[in-house]
Structure 1
Amino acid sequence: STWCRSRAKSERARSQSLIYMDYNATTPLEPEVMQAVSEALQDAWGNPSSNHIADVTFVPVSRVSGRVEVEDIIAAVRPATCLISVMLANNETGVIMVGLPRISCRVKFLNKQRERLRILVHTDAAQALGKIPVDVQELGVDYLTIVGHKFYAPRIGALFVNGPGSRTPLYPMLFGGGQERNFRPGTENTPMIAGLGKVRTLRIPTTVLMLNQILFLSVFRDKIRFNNRFPGSDILPNTTNMSILGPTLQGWRVLSTCRRLLASVGAACHSASGNRPSYILLSCGVPSEVAVNALRVSVGRGTTKSEVDAVVEDLRETVQLLEDMN
Structure 2
Amino acid sequence: MNKRPLYFDYAATTPVDERVIKVMVECLGFTGNFGNPASSSHAFGQQARQTVEHARRQVANLVGAEADQIVWTSGATESNNLALKGVAQARGVAGGHVITSQIEHKAVLDTARQLQDAGVAVTYLVPDADGLITAQAVSEAMREDTFLVSLMLVNNELGTVNDIAAIGDIVRARDALFHVDAAQGAGKVVIDLAQLPVDVMSFSAHKIYGPKGIGALYVGPRAQQRLHAQIHGGGHEGGLRSGTLATHQIAAMGVAFELAAQLFEDEKVIVAGLHERLLEQLSSIPGVRLNGSPSQRIPHTLSLTFAEGEFNSAALSHSIAFSATSACNSASNAPSHVLLALGHDTHSASRTIRLSLGRFTTAQDIDQAADLIKAACTSAPAFWQ
Q: Does 1:236 align with 2:298?
A: yes
Q: Which SS does the other structure have where 2:123 is aligned?
A: coil
Output aligned runs, 1:76-95, within 5 Å.
76-95=141-160
Specify the code of the residue in structure 2 equivalent to 1:93: L
Distance across 1 between alignment mates of 2:344 and 2:223: 43
Q: Contact (CA 8 Å) 2:316, 2:372: kept in 1 or not?
A: no
Q: 1:224 aligns with which of 288, 292, 298?
A: 288
Q: 1:31 aligns with which of 12, 15, 18?
A: 18
Q: Cα offset for 1:131?
A: 1.3
- Residue in structure 1 matched with residue 126 of structure 2 by the alignment: 60
Q: Which SS does the other structure have where 2:289 is aligned?
A: strand
Distance across 1 between alignment mates of 2:254 and 2:157: 27
- Residue in structure 1 matched with residue 36 of structure 2 by the alignment: 47
Q: Contact (CA 8 Å) 1:254, 1:319: kept in 2 or not?
A: no
- Residue in structure 1 matched with residue 251 of structure 2 by the alignment: 194
Cα–Cα, structure 1 residues 44 and 68, in superposed 2: closer, same or farther, change >3 Å? same
Q: Cα offset for 1:140?
A: 1.3
Q: Contact (CA 8 Å) 1:67, 1:95: kept in 2 or not?
A: yes
Q: Does 1:306 align with 2:351?
A: no
Specify the code of the residue in structure 1 equivalent to 2:151: V
Q: Contact (CA 8 Å) 2:183, 2:204: kept in 1 or not?
A: yes
Bigger CA radius of gyration: 1
Q: Cα offset for 1:259?
A: 4.1
Distance across 1 between alignment mates of 2:309 and 2:332: 20
Distance across 2 between alignment mates of 1:89 and 1:283: 16
Q: Cα offset for 1:196?
A: 0.4
Distance across 2 between alignment mates of 1:183 and 1:317: 52
Q: Does 1:176 align with 2:252?
A: no
Cα–Cα, structure 1 residues 165 and 226, in superposed 2: closer, same or farther, change >3 Å? closer
The TM-score normalised by the length of structure 1 is 0.82
In structure 2, list runs of 5 or more residues that go unmatched.
Answer: 39-88, 90-113
Q: Which SS does the other structure have where 1:136 is aligned?
A: coil
Q: Cα offset for 1:55?
A: 2.6
Distance across 2 between alignment mates of 1:169 and 1:204: 35
- Residue in structure 2 matched with residue 73 of structure 1 by the alignment: 138
Number of residue equivalences: 292
Cα–Cα, structure 1 residues 287 and 26, in superposed 2: closer, same or farther, change >3 Å? same
The TM-score normalised by the length of structure 2 is 0.70
Q: Contact (CA 8 Å) 1:255, 1:264: kept in 2 or not?
A: no
Q: 1:254 aligns with which of 309, 313, 337?
A: 313
Q: Which SS does the other structure have where 1:149 is aligned?
A: helix
Q: Cα offset for 1:124?
A: 0.4
Q: Contact (CA 8 Å) 1:243, 1:290: kept in 2 or not?
A: yes
